[in-house]
Amino acid sequence: MSFRRLKAVARKEALHILRDSRSLAMALMVPIVMLLLFGYALTLDVDRIPTIIYDADHSPQSRELAERFHGSRFFEIRGYVSEYRTIEQKVNSSECLLGVVIPRDYSRKLLSNQEAEVQLLLDGSDSNTASIALGYAEVLLQTYALEIRSRAQSRKLGKTFSAPIEPRLRVWYNSELKSKNYIVPGLIAVILMIIAALLTSLTIAREWDMGTMEQLLSTPLRPAELVLGKMSAYFVVGVVDMLLAMLVGVFLFEVPLRGSILLLLVSSFIFLAGALFWGIMISAIARTQLLAYQMGMVSSFLPAFLLSAFIYSIDNMPRVIQIITRIVPARYFITIAKGIFLKGVGIQILWMELLFLLVYAGVVFLVATRKVGQKLA
């Protein structure tokens, strides 16, 4: 391998990047825009659930229950209605997600130590949010029921009773349970995979479209030199994107960075190199820029977004899909990023994921070199 030829290819590709200032600006700005859009818009936090209350009892006891919903940060009371049909209309028009119905005999049953019923009506069109809202409402009602029972026993026996078990919760690594702390590190991996693959997916195909591949065929340039030369030029752009994304995540979204910055950078460099080699391999397979772009988008965005545990839990996927996720590099880098950002763990925990990224980058480099060699032959 000649370093001189490799440097010449890298310089040629760097000049092409600098001449196309609009594409360079897009390559640098798109990750920031994506991070801002997804970081602010994509949230898994479920609070301030739009709620409508139908109090048919109009008693002090029913008003006390309604105040419990009003005082919870998880529910936003959008109003009180006077008939059952109004709740159905507001659910159909998406004005509320939860309807709380307090029946007419609620206070009578409650004061006579009978089982008092409360109906919860949920919009199940968004099943995940509805399930979480139902869980919040059930916990609120159960806590309120225990409090009522404790007060009744205190009045009956003349002494105060407390719950036999007092739960004391401690949440590790994300104590405030903010979804941005979970999303942003994974989003950095998704952005790097998409940008890196798209940056290089057009590079070989563009040579064919512009008619410059014939000039490369007449030189003593080796496939490995061509692949490494083109990758090194885009690697600089990818590193800038990576650093910008990390700075935005830490300083704008205030995601805690508890682990080693050096380990994070090293793993990011390896992951970025593998993604760039993947784009070059796609560009070598596709002879047109349109096909290369389509293949790059499908093979980078969809697996990184859907099959990497970025949003959806892999454990809940079908067994066949779980097996497929094992070859998605974004899955392993997301594990590394979250481990370093949130848990502060080191290479003694993450060595397996780092080893996979190394093997992946090496294998893709060999395949890309072989495909480019077939084109040059």
The reported pLDDT for the residue numbered 191 is 84
pLDDT tens string 170-214: 878 877 777 788 888 888 888 888 888 777 777 777 766 676 666
pLDDT of residue 317 exceeding 80, the answer is yes
352 contacts 266 by C-beta, under 8 angstroms: no
The torsion of the CA quartet 186, 192, 194, 200, rounded to 10 degrees, works out to -160
Please tell me the pTM assigned to this model.
Answer: 0.79
Q: Which residues of 80-92 are buried (b: 16+ CB within 10 A; e: fewer)?
A: ebeeeebbeebbe
Q: What whole-number percentage of the chain has pLDDT above 90?
A: 25
Q: Average pLDDT over the chain, rounded to whole?
A: 84
Distant-in-sequence, close-in-space partners of 353: CB < 8 Å, separation ≥ 6 = 267, 332, 333, 335, 336
pLDDT of residue 361 exceeding 90, the answer is yes
Q: In the chain, where are the structural domains located?
A: 3-43+178-376, 49-157
Which residues of the chain form beta strands (DSSP E)?
49-55, 75-81, 98-102, 119-122
Angle of helix 179-200 versus helix 329-338 axis, rounded to 10: 140
Mean pLDDT of 2-11: 80
Q: Which of 91-95, 252-256, 267-271 has the highest mean pLDDT?
A: 267-271
More confident residue, 2 or 316: 316
Neighbours of 316 (CB within 10 A): 8
Closest CA to 40 of 174, 184, 173, 177: 184
More confident residue, 301 or 360: 360
Q: Is 12 exposed, middle or buried (0-12, 13-18, 19+ CB in 10 A)?
A: middle
In CATH terms, the fold of domain 49-157 is abc type-2 transporter like fold (3.40.1710)
Q: What whole-number percentage of the chain has pLDDT above 70?
A: 91
pLDDT tens string 125-178: 878 788 889 989 998 998 888 888 777 777 666 665 565 677 777 878 877 777
